[in-house]
Structure 1
């Protein structure tokens, strides 16, 4: 069900040190590092993300959370997106390939009624073209 989860951190430097160490003792390491967001996991797959809240729009006591749900295929991602919009969700990113994450990453992002960034993702999409 849950593909990956992300939180925003107010004290970026302290958070990086904290998660490097506490996740390190559990066998998790940095799998991706975008300077303002770091994904931790194993075997090349980041499952838990931290982000520097001062680098984005998520500020204040109710900082957004990012949750990505696994989808069975590209059609399921599209259905998630269309349903969310029908229910009044704000579109963050329409369904598309995200090759900057990895080949075959197909996802759509919406903002839920409480302002959280919610995604549906399928990891086996075929590159277009």
Structure 2
């Protein structure tokens, strides 16, 4: 009887340990996923004040689609919403075909702010 109780107690301890290990592995995977999403998203949003509107327009639809896909891959709400905002901004740019410089400058300023929010969400 004592051996059965000892084995049962050992089994419970092992299961509890497995649960903690699984939890730690899940957390590490989540953080790894966040890091890879952030790395890719920051690479997609290579905005700088000297960017050519035609260069931005050329890849806007593809960037918008990939940013939305990345947003769907993460669980963290702040990061997801930032990625969705960035995606929407690229679609807006592509659809509106901002030809005049002031419209592009306004778009660029909004997206530089989105980029700052992305960096903050990725920390």
TM-score (norm 1): 0.22
Instruction: Give the strand-richer structure, 1 or 2.
Output: 1
Instruction: Give the helix-richer structure, 1 or 2.
Output: 2
Larger-Rg structure: 2
TM-score (norm 2): 0.22
